Each structure stands twice: as C-alpha cells, then as structure tokens.
Structure 1
Amino acid sequence: MSLAAQAKQLPCALQPQRASLQLQQHGRAPARLPATRWQQRLAARAQLAAQAAPPAEVDWDSLGFGLSRVGATMWMASCDAVDGKWSTGELQPYGPLPMYPSAQALNYGQAVFEGMKAQRTAKDRIVLFRPDANADRMIEGAKRLSMVPPPKDLFLEAVTKVVEANADWVPPQGKGSLYLRPLLMGSGPILGLGPAPAYTLVVYCASVGSYFKGGQLTPIDLIVETHFHRAAPGGMGGTKCAGNYSPVLVTQLAAKKNGYSDVVYLDAKTDTYLEEVSSCNIFVVKGKTIRTPPLKGTILPGVTRRSIIELARSRGYTVEEEPVSVTEAMEADEIFTTGTAVVVSPVGSLTYEGKRRQFGEPGQPSPVALELYDQLTGLQQERYPDPFGWVYPVC
C-alpha cells in the first residue's frame, strides 16, 4: 500500500501521523523536524521492533514482570467524540503513539486501563480469563471520567486479535503468561478543561512472570501506611484510572527501601480499616471465614478478587465483604492479596506502627492462599474443570 493510501486510512485523531505520511510521499521530513532527527526517530522505532522480535530460544524461567519481552504487535482504534462512533481498529507494529502535547490525557488525565492475561493450557490452546469483566470495568471507568467507552464487542475483538497476533509470546504452560494492557485515553487536543474531542483505545502486551521479585508463592511483607491514603469516599478509588497509581509511589518506594514488598492503606475517614494494597486487593483469613473490604467506591473491583470470592465459597469457605480493622488483621490466621498481576500472593508479615506480625512459617505459603492459588490457576490453565464458564478460548 502506498504512503498516500496509508495516510487516507488513518483516523482523524491521528492527524500528526497522517501529515507525516503525506510528507514522506513527497520525500520530505515533517515540518519543523530536522531530517536528522526524523531519521533518528525512524531508527529508534526500527530498533524497538527488532527488540520485540522473539529469539529462537527464550529463557521463560527468567521472566519478571516488565517489558523485556514486549509483543511485536499492538491494536489501535479511535473515536470522534462528536458522533461517538469507534473505528473498526487495526493491528500494527508496537511503537510510539502520535499525539499532540495538548492531548487531554496528558494535561487533564482522561485515561483508564485494564490488566489481563492470556495463558497456554493443558488442552494445548491459548485462553483469556473473564475478559468480559474487564470490558465492563473499562466501560464503567470511562463513564466516570466522561469518556466515550468502547463497545464491549470491540474490546473483546481487540484483546483477542492481540493474543492471536502475539501467540509466540505466550510462555509455555506454567512458565508465565502474556500480559495485556488495554489503554483508553483522551488523545484529542484541548486547552480548557473539558472532555477530549477524540479518544484512542490501544492494546499492547508482554510476556511476564511473577509480579513480586521473590517468586509467585513467596510470602510478601507488607507495612500499613498511616499518613497517606490511596482513596477517599466519593473519589476515584473504585475506578482503574491512570491517576490512581503514581500517587502511591511515594509510599511504595519508601517501603521497598526499608525491605517491605508493598504498602496496605487504611480508610480515609477513621484510619482504622484496611482498604487495599497499592495495586491489589487484600483478604484476611480466620478459621473457615475469609473477609475482604467491601466495594463502596474506594476500592477497585478486582476481577481476581471477584473470582476468588466465588471460588472460595464453592469450596466451603464463608466469605464476608465487610470492613476489616487493622487490629483484626494483626490477629488473623493468614492474609493474602489478589490481582491480575499478583494472582494470589500470601502475606508473610504485616507491620503496623512498628509492630510486626508473622504469618505461618517464614518463606512458606500459607495454606488457604496456596489452596485458592492452585484452584484458580488450575482453572485458568484448564488443568481443572471450569464450572463457572470463566475461560475464554482464543486459539
């Protein structure tokens, strides 16, 4: 396809890239961009593509949670806010996004995202896990930020195509997963505060292993934050918007510097009840009862959280979505966290106001966390039957 034809097919939200292709058709670099810098950018993009290509031999056992094995192909669609119609979307090489400095997302923060995983299973196929729940959550988050939400079928088509296009990046069964990041942002330019005139939905992916450095089932050490809060009633805590995450870095980095894995936050009203960890939900176990903080707008409605609640109940546990005081947590039999990235992670210790509570044997996963982790991953990898209908086959 000629460069001119490519330019005509680009959506209106990508005017900078359209102009670049038109200029290339005539053998010129974009205006106000020296040819040397343009060539450098082209070379950098080519280098990204080369780095993304999967080598013949991959040490899947060395995977961490990062972009060392980023998929070579991403998917993108756009929407004009005037008519609210989304383009059909298309696959393209993973690389930089064309965007004006005045893009709403860069100035006023209109951006929500999702986290999902594709896995190889015991049935020799690649599957997703409850992608419809991720689609629903993105739609709700978009509405909260006054964005045009992508239709559910478009979302599902996007993640499915990205998995199909990057099948070589899905690790062998039990060696990790292909993490997908659907990202919806206000990409249209704007100066005054208001909704973006255009939106972009991008889905990219990377091969990943364990989220925490110690390994998937190595117990983590948490510290209770007593100064900062993650969210407040009436705010954005229940939405997976981009702005919820960088504010936790100041406490998370300080905690890691002092040897902790992460931070657990308390409610903003009373500083009494657990809310969630920086990027995952939390559960407290006492006998056959499992308790987790309720969804009241300050806690992210995690897909893994919901799944663990249903799975635990099916296995005879009493699961209560009720406030959990930090005092109760310090006296619990065990604690674990859940999330797409962390899956199910046992908590080895909880520190509050200088007092440390050890759970179970050091270095060993606690029994309930281990049981639910095995059941969840066994279902996701099709080692166990799926009575809930959560597994979504792709290829």
Structure 2
Amino acid sequence: MSKDVNIDWSKLTFDYIKTDYRYLSIWKDGQWDDGKLAEDNMLTISEASTALHYGQQCFEGLKAYRTKDGKIQLFRPNRNAARMNDSNAKLLMPEIPEEKFIDACMQVVRANEHFVPPYGTGATLYLRPFMIGVGNNIGVKPASEYIFSVFCMPVGPYFKGGLAPCNFIISDYDRAAPQGTGGQKVGGNYAASMQPHKIAAEKGFTDCIYLDPATHTKIEEVGAANFFGITKDNKFITPISPSILPSITKYSLIDIAKDYLNLEVLERDVLADNLSEFKEAGACGTAAVITPIGGISYKDELHVFHSETEVGPIVKELYRILCGIQFGDVEAPEGWIYKV
C-alpha cells in the first residue's frame, strides 16, 4: 500500500480521485460472498447486465471525518445501510446485511486511511457504496447476479469561500413520478435531473427546485438535496412526500433543531405560493451539509429569505453544530458516530 499521497488538501474539489482500494462483493445463487478489497478500479460486466439496460442499480453517499486527535469516524452509516436496502427492495435487488454494509465501509476507510484529509482542512473522505444488477439477462426481470461495491476519494469542503447563500429557480420539470422511485437513491432520478439543472444554470441559478409531480404546488427537492425552512416564529419546517429521498442529513438536522436549538419541528406540505412564511431556508445533503438559500425564483419573481449575501443565524448554527458532531468537536447523540 502506497503511503505517499501528494495532495494539496486546500485545493480539493468534489471530483473523482483514484484511491488504493475498493471493496467488492458478489451476490450469486441466492447469497453474498465474503467480499474483498481490490486495487483495480475497473469493473468487467456482461453487456446484458440489467444495470445497463433497465436501470437496476442504486447507490449511497457518506463520509469519513478526521477528528482533532487524529482519529477517524463515520457519521450514521447504519442509516445509509437502511436507505440502500429500501432502494434494493424497490428494485427487487438482494438485501445487504447492515453489518456487511458497515464493515465494507470500514474496510475501505482503513485501507485508504492516508487519503483521509487532516482535521481543520474542511475536507473529508467521501464513500460511494453502490449495487448493480449484472449477469447475462435480456428480458425485463431482476438480474441473476449483483455486485456490491464501495469506493472512496478525498473531497474538499463544498463552500470554498465559506458558507454562502445560493439562489434557485422552481422548475416545470419533474424528477420523479408520484408512485415512482423518488424516495429511493437510484440513478434514474439523477438522469432525469440533468436537463432541468442545465436550464437552471444557464439562467444563472445554482440549481432548480422540484415541485410535487401530482399538483405542481408543493416544494419537494432542491436539486439533489432536501429543503428546509425556518418560519418567522422559529419553527423548522421540511416537506413530506413519498417521492422525496429521505436525507440522512435532513433527519439529523431535525434532531439538532429539536434537541440542541429547542425549535419546534414539523414535516408538512410546503406550498410554493407561501414562501413568505419563511425567514430562512436551506438545502441539505451529504456533499454540502447545508446550502443556504438566498432566494427562490417562482413565477418570474425572486423571493429573498434572510439575505442573498449573508447566511441567517439559525441556518449558520445548524451548520456549526452538525459539522461539529461530524468532526468530533460537538458531543453527538447516542449511536450517531462509528469509530473506524
């Protein structure tokens, strides 16, 4: 294993970097093999794999964090395991035992420990578990074999210039169907989002916001992230819908809002016509943790929340506490942190 990693941690972005080892396990004849670490980052699969033709695949994203004392920890990987198994069930793929999922992540972090960025850089080691249907299949039916893999790469902090508000535009496009796969982390959802994102970016926005596909009146997701807002009477509000991906970051923020900031929390409909109820807003997910929302363009008007240039005090505090927990500077709720 090479220990010489010539990386300028301050210049890392969210881009692929080949690290030394990844984990691979094969499901065949009704069971998983023991799994192993591999150096080769290329997969060889059948041209008839269901992942290529019928979208039978899913993935996850989580991070390993270096703490002030040099130790490494994972943040709630059990929740990623549960969410991946929800995706697997939806697409008729085999379940991955929670302990196998977490062990795979641990093995990959340990084998690539020298790629975990130092504490204080804001950078982390991003892990990408995924499962694909493989084997020789041509009919529309579940695959006969599956590959479960976890690879990793160091990534920089999402906000190079510090936490800063971004503007978004409400899209006419749908990212998921009402009874479809919106609540699962499957590739088709992201393929459907590429064109609307391009249109939003061309108009000068960070990304687009999707409304509910049935009525086009309620906010669902912000790009590939979950939405939350802080009302003028200090309630933490986040949308609820079966076609929203259940963000582990969002549910962590819900607990932080309740238990650390003593805010009332409600999961309920968020009407696009009622943006004025919020004094602050944000999008949340693994990559950025929180993206503060400066304004939302809807019906040719830009609704500004706290400010287009300054982050609101509650969003700033939510970000500080969550990052503090992830990097080991703030005491975590029981069961959130897994020491590598």
Normalised by the length of structure 1, the TM-score is: 0.82
Show structure 1 runs of 4+ deviating over 3 A. Answer: 53-57
Query: Do structure 1's residue 190 and structure 2's residue 137 form an aligned pair?
Result: yes
Q: How many percent of aligned residue pairs carry the same amino acid? A: 36
CA distance in 2, matches of 1:122, 1:55: 22
Q: How far is the alpha carbon of 1:57 from its aligned partner?
A: 4.0
* C-alpha spacing 1:66/1:235, structure 2 compared with 1 (3 Å): same
Question: Is residue 165–residue 307 contact of structure 2 (8 Å, CA) maintained in 1?
Answer: no
Aligned to 2:100: 154
In the alignment, is residue 304 of structure 1 matched against residue 249 of structure 2?
A: yes
Aligned to 2:267: 321
Matched, 1:127 2:76: no
Residue 68 of structure 2 aligns to a residue whose secondary structure is coil
Matches within 5 A, 1:1-395: 56-67=5-16, 69-80=17-28, 82=29, 84-175=30-121, 176-211=123-158, 215=161, 217-225=163-171, 227-287=172-232, 288-294=234-240, 296-314=241-259, 315-394=261-340
Q: Distance in 2 between matches of 1:174 and 1:266?
A: 38
**Unmatched segments (≥5 aa) in structure 2:** none
How far did 1:255 drift? 0.9
Q: Note closer, same or farther for the CA distance 1:358–1:66 as it changes in structure 2 (3 Å cut).
A: same
More strand by share: 2
Judging changes above 3 Å, is the alpha-carbon distance between structure 1 residues 150 and 371 closer, same or farther for their aligned structure 2 residues?
Answer: same
Larger gyration radius, structure 1 or structure 2: 1
Structure 2: how far apart are the matches of 1:303 and 1:137?
9
C-alpha contact 2:137 2:144 (8 A) present in aligned 1: yes
Any idea what the Cα deviations from partners look like across 1:157-184, whole Å, max 9, x if unmatched?
A: 1000000011111111132100000011
Q: Secondary structure at the match of 2:315?
A: helix
Using the alignment, how far apart are the partners of 1:269 and 1:257 within structure 2?
26
Which of the pair has the greater relative contact order for Cα pairs under 8 Å at 6+ separation?
A: 2
SS in 2 for 1:223: strand
Structure 2-normalised TM-score? Answer: 0.95
Pair 94,356 (structure 1): closer, same or farther in 2 beyond 3 Å = farther
Matching residue of 1:27: none
How many residues in Structure 1 have an aligned counterpart in Structure 2? 337
TM-superposed deviation, 1:55: 5.5
**What do the CA deviations read for 1:39-89 (whole angstroms, capped 9, x no partner)?**
xxxxxxxxxx9xxx775542211111111x332211100001x3x210100
Counterparts of 1:388 and 1:336, CA distance in 2: 26
Consecutive unaligned residues in structure 1, runs of 5 or more: 1-48
